[in-house]
Amino acid sequence: MPVLALPAGQAAAVTYGTPTITLSAGYLSGAVGATGDPTVTVTVAQSGASASALTVAASATTRSSVARTGDVTVTGTGGTRTLAVAAQGVGYTDLTVKVTGLGGKTATRTLHYAASPAVQFAATSRYLTGSSDASAAVDVGGGFIVVGDDESNTLRLYDRNTSGAPVRTWDFSAALGVSKEIDIEAAARVGNTIYWTGSLGNNKDGVVKPDRHTLFTTTVTGSGATTQLTLAGSYTGLRDDLIAWDVANGDRYGFAAGAADGQAPKQIDGFNVEGLEFAPGSTTTAYVGFRAPLTPAVTGGRALLVPVTNFPSLFDGSATSATFGDPIELDLGGLSVRDLRRNDLGQYLIVAGSWAADDNSDPYALYRWDGRPTSRPVKLLDLPTSDAGAWEAVPDVPNLDAPGARTQLITDDGSADLYGDGTAAKDLTHPEWKKSRTTWFTIS
């Protein structure tokens, strides 16, 4: 068949296909006035055209009071772009993201966006998405932390300096033989071992839930973004050990009554663990810190630590029950232990908060301590309580004597109405909208 030639000087018409556009996530959260909010990756292409010739922008919004089209910024020039949104107000909006290719052809995708209120210290705050219930955190080097959750058994690895989703997750429920939440509330690291503990308390309705009595250990390999965790051991008897010890010592703290079926854990005379750290210079004695009870169990009572003197032996099978040292009672201004962390210099930070369940509005404070039973903690600062969230975790402790020392604290936002619709964050249907907040504080 003869080939028909085009007339001299006439070029073949270029045919462009319909552009394609994909979003790395269909849901995104932000905060009014935030610095470094999470972003979405936009991937675009068009047959017959270079990706650099395509333009990407927001073309519509369903609620401009939350975010306008001009509040959407797209950076990058190739096939992969980065989209960010600057929130104008609290609530939800659907943003239409449009790619325009050559030949005037277009394609769109919808981004479902949610914005939470402005917070104090916005410049040093970041948001850990994927969960709203951060309750314990441990530094793993390279600017990364592993965060525990009191509403699920998932451990999450985050870049502590950047807002966004976890880079890796682990759930050891099946290996631990648990089907309900452990209610992870505290953690401590020694060498390459991280010890994690459930609250040991009843659920909020006072029902005894055995899965919450679980303690377990993970072995850390690698560091930073390459961190890996493997399950190493577990123990479920510490709650019973503590109750038996207290009964044998005259029922001094009322553990048996506070942990009885029908008793809510977040009572001034309840039974609920939220702190764990090792004693000064020790890798065998661990301080177990109580949110409840106070001692005595009255307004203005002291916070309670109980030393477990054979803590690692509970996980390797060399001990069948815990042994205890003399209890430590700390004056935290009527507050209790919400987290406890030590550095290699033997300096401790204590996150102190209320024993009560309505803790988003109750006082919080950060204390310094040297770990000695006879020493009185020193208040460093009162923590802000006007923003949503309960201060729950401190991943590590800087040298508290260094000029300009800063520490990072993390909130549990599970009960917070982040987006003004009456929905608690832990009940949101999309993990991208769930988030906890981290804030850096200067403390020296």
Question: Helix/strand/coil (H, E, C) string of 50-87?
Answer: CHHHCEEEEEEECCCCCCCHHHEEEECCCCEEEEEECC
Residue 219 near residue 232, CB atoms below 8 Å: yes
Tokens read off for 114 = 């949610």
In whole angstroms, how far apart are CA 64 and each of 91, 94, 141?
A: 10, 10, 41
Q: Is residue 3 part of a domain?
A: no
Number of neighbours of residue 92 by Cβ within 10 angstroms = 17
288-320 pLDDT per residue, tens: 999 999 999 999 999 999 999 999 999 999 999
Mean confidence (pLDDT) of the chain: 95
Q: What is the pTM assigned to this prediction? A: 0.94
Say what percent of the chain tops pLDDT 90.
95
Fill in the DSSP letter of residue 256.
H
**Is the same domain home to 249 and 335?**
yes
**Is the same domain home to 189 and 51?**
no
**Is the same domain home to 334 and 402?**
yes
56-84 pLDDT per residue, tens: 999 999 999 999 999 999 999 999 999 99
Say what percent of the chain tops pLDDT 70.
96
Please report which confidence band the pLDDT of residue 3 belongs to, taking 50, 70 and 90 as the band edges. very low
Q: What is the pLDDT of residue 362?
A: 87
**Is the same domain home to 225 and 336?**
yes
- Buried/exposed 164-200: b ≥16 CB within 10 Å, e otherwise: bbbeebbebbeebebeebbbbbbbbbbeebbbbbbbb
**Is the same domain home to 42 and 154?**
no
Q: What is the pLDDT of residue 8?
A: 53
Tokens read off for 356 = 């009560």
Residues 6+ apart with CB under 8 A from 131: 147, 149, 151, 152, 154, 156, 431, 434, 435, 436
**pLDDT (mean) for 334-339:** 98
**Is the same domain home to 303 and 247?**
yes
The total of structural domains in the chain comes to 2
Q: Is residue 204 part of a domain?
A: yes
Q: Is residue 377 part of a domain?
A: yes
CATH number, position 77: 2.60.40.10
337-371 pLDDT per residue, tens: 999 999 999 999 999 999 997 656 789 999 999 99
**Is the same domain home to 105 and 148?**
no
Residue 256 near residue 221, CB atoms below 8 Å: no
What is the C-alpha to C-alpha distance for residues 247 and 436, in angstroms, rounded to an integer?
Answer: 38
Peptide bond into 293 cis (omega under 30): yes
Report the DSSP pairing between strands 27-31 and 106-116.
parallel
**H-helix or E-strand spanning residue 359:** none
What is the C-alpha to C-alpha distance for residues 444 and 405, in angstroms, rounded to an integer?
Answer: 5
Q: Is residue 15 part of a domain?
A: no
Q: What is the pLDDT of residue 347?
A: 98
Q: What is the pLDDT of residue 359?
A: 56
**Is the same domain home to 86 and 128?**
no
CATH number, position 238: 2.115.10
Lowest mean pLDDT among 213-227, 356-370, 429-443: 356-370
**Is the same domain home to 412 and 343?**
yes
Q: Say whether 426 sits in a helix, a strand or coil.
A: helix
Q: Which domain holds residue 355?
A: 122-442
| For residue 128, pLDDT beyond 50 | yes
**Residue that terminates a domain, selected from 90, 116, 142:** 116
Tokens read off for 296 = 């005595």
**Residue that terminates a domain, selected from 75, 94, 116:** 116
Number of neighbours of residue 5 by Cβ within 10 angstroms = 7
**Is the same domain home to 196 and 291?**
yes
Q: What is the pLDDT of residue 14?
A: 75
**Is the same domain home to 126 and 106?**
no
Q: What is the pLDDT of residue 1?
A: 42
Q: What is the pLDDT of residue 357?
A: 78
